[in-house]
Amino acid sequence: MSAGSVPSGYEVKDPGYPTSQENYLTNSKGILSWAFTLDHKRIGMMYLIGVSTAFLLGGLLALGIRLHLFAPDGILFNNGLFQWLAPDKAPNDIYNQVFTLHGAIMVFLFIIPSIPAALGNFLVPVMLGAKDVAFPRLNLSSFYLWVGGAVFFVMALLASGLDTGWTFYTPYSTTTDSSVILATTGAFILGFSSIFTGLNFIVTINTMRPPGMTWFRMPLFLWATYSTSIIQVLATPVLGITLLLLIAERTMHIGIFDPEYNGDPVTFQHFFWFYSHPAVYIMILPAFGIISELISVHSHKRIFGYRFIAYSSIAIALLSFIVWGHHMFTSGMSPITTIIFSALTFTVSVPSAIKVFNWVATMFKGSISLTTPMVYAIAFIFLFTIGGLTGLHLGTLATDMHLHDTYFVVAHFHYVMVGGTVVSFLGGVFHWWPKMVGKMYSEAGGLISAALVFIGFNLTFLPQFILGSRGMPRRYATYDPEFAPLHQMSTYGALILGVGLFVALFVLIMSLINGKKAPANPWGGATLEWNCTSPPPFYNFERAPVVGDPYEFGDIRWDTELDRYVKVEPEREVVPSETPAETPAHAGE
């Protein structure tokens, strides 16, 4: 299982910039060559397009929510336009469906697959130095399962909507007449998509590391992906069975969750959060991985506390399984259970804090380039820190009694999910975009998008903390007039945030049209993906890559004549190797 260490003297002179003209985008043509591709990079790109579409849809729904809440009685869904679209629905019903679908689409279709499936698929094998993931067919089927799940969600949207909240709490979900079965089937299918991705990555990282890629030479993004995959594999099946039982409850009244048949709704909550709390870490852990890469590459400095960051990812993955109860502090669990869950919840904050400290320490005395990805990464640390710290208010029992199910919670998890995951996703996309498509984007445009996202985001969600602590419950279609000013601020913020995201999209699309050709290593990164061309060739590496330290920036210099980063001759013992050994066992012979 372990690849062993690099045999001494195993280094090649060639810095490893391949020369092939063909890349993964051009080596075969036609729509079918994409539809049936087994190439992890193409699957990653298809995922990227898919999740971006879902993000767009979920984002539009979010804008709908914010616009509606501009006035205490709502202004959007009681407008004539919406009445015409849905004549048999009350404005409140439309609002309820919109926030439900916003949540469900963002969680199941966007955030969970965003970084692991889109960026992860593209990057994991390349960063690892492998030719592909371990099971390419499983990988493709995972993408099509995602598409299938998305189709079910769209069907639910078109049939009679979904108004249960993304949490599907019983008995509401067993009694409402909206399309719960379609949506849960969709989520069930998406669960399998997620499991297959996670399983693939665990196996890939375990068995396909090339010689020299020891566990502690892996880039931190791989550590984060590995931890994420563990959660995906261990938690998602429980969601699967929960949703299956929910479907059975609706169709056959099996009486497990529905109190009308002597079931227990709180059991459903336990089942649901046993998956969905770890799922929160499925969403944020890969973001940590991205930030570790971004901060170190753009500071041109070794990551500070590599082992602490790596171990803290694993620690978070494991701790995430024992804290689900903090979503249910007010549900009437026994006091002792509640207190235990509160104590366990506090433990999760330690590894998260370790990461933040280490990132800031990495920047100390670095050589920082304020590129778009770096600005996004800085925004991430700022926003995620707020999100994480406000989690303390919610983990503390006495204050959670007041704050639970209010806008404080909404603000908290948006700071983590949007300020954290989405911002790092954008940062990651900007960082690896040249690698993915081989084009550079406009730096100025990227920076403007980052600034707008940062300002808009804070304006949207900072007021929501105050709304929450002043007692505004979440999921309200209308509200007391005293909350109106803060809601209005929040709506203005959402508009700015929306503009920022569209600017980002525009910048990236423009780069495809008139972007400069990207060099192999535009940022001066040291991980393996910067060793292959941009975009990478079909099999990623012309020859087995030389695995070095992923954070050794000493031998990467900016060449002003060539106008790009080059790898300088390392001042080490160099022994050319004619036939790169494939297995450690052989290398040792």
Q: Which of residues 242-301 bind another protein (CB under 8 A)?
A: 242, 244-245, 248, 252-256, 259-267, 271, 299-301
Count of chain residues binding another protein (CB under 8 A): 151
| Cα diameter, the chain | 78
Query: Least CB distance from residue 52 to another protein, whole Å?
Result: 27
Query: Least CB distance from residue 505 to another protein, whole Å?
Result: 25
Query: Least CB distance from residue 80 to another protein, whole Å?
Result: 17
560 Cβ neighbours under 8 A, 6+ residues apart: none
Site for another protein in 189-208 (CB under 8 A): 195, 199-200, 202-204, 206-208
| Pick 52 or 540: Cβ nearer another protein | 540
Does residue 414 belong to the site contacting another protein (CB under 8 A)? no
d(C-alpha 357, C-alpha 362), whole Å: 9
Residue 583 CB neighbour total at 10 angstroms: 12
Which two tokens mark 31? 């729509």
3-state class of 240 per DSSP? helix
Going by their DSSP bridges, the two strands 564-567 and 556-559 should be labelled as antiparallel
Does residue 84 belong to the site contacting another protein (CB under 8 A)? no
Does residue 364 belong to the site contacting another protein (CB under 8 A)? yes
d(C-alpha 426, C-alpha 423), whole Å: 5
| Pick 50 or 212: Cβ nearer another protein | 212
| Among 5-13, 283-291, 415-423, 558-566, the segment contacting another protein (CB under 8 A) | 558-566
Which two tokens mark 325? 């109860």
Query: Least CB distance from residue 371 to another protein, whole Å?
Result: 10
Site for another protein in 141-170 (CB under 8 A): 163, 165, 169
| Among 152-160, 470-478, 501-509, 512-520, the segment contacting another protein (CB under 8 A) | 470-478
Residue 138 CB neighbour total at 10 angstroms: 16
336 Cβ neighbours under 8 A, 6+ residues apart: none
Contact pick of 23, 228, 292, 358 for another protein (by CB under 8 A) = 358
Does residue 488 belong to the site contacting another protein (CB under 8 A)? yes
**End-to-end CA, the chain:** 18
User: Do residues 101 and 157 make contact, with C-beta atoms less than 8 angstroms apart?
Assistant: yes
| Pick 50 or 452: Cβ nearer another protein | 452
Residues linked to residue 558 through DSSP beta bridges, in sequence order: 565
d(C-alpha 62, C-alpha 499), whole Å: 13
| Among 45-53, 60-68, 116-124, 548-556, the segment contacting another protein (CB under 8 A) | 548-556
User: Do residues 63 and 55 make contact, with C-beta atoms less than 8 angstroms apart?
Assistant: no
Contact pick of 67, 71, 354, 505 for another protein (by CB under 8 A) = 354
Site for another protein in 1-40 (CB under 8 A): 1
Does residue 476 belong to the site contacting another protein (CB under 8 A)? yes
User: Do residues 359 and 310 make contact, with C-beta atoms less than 8 angstroms apart?
Assistant: no
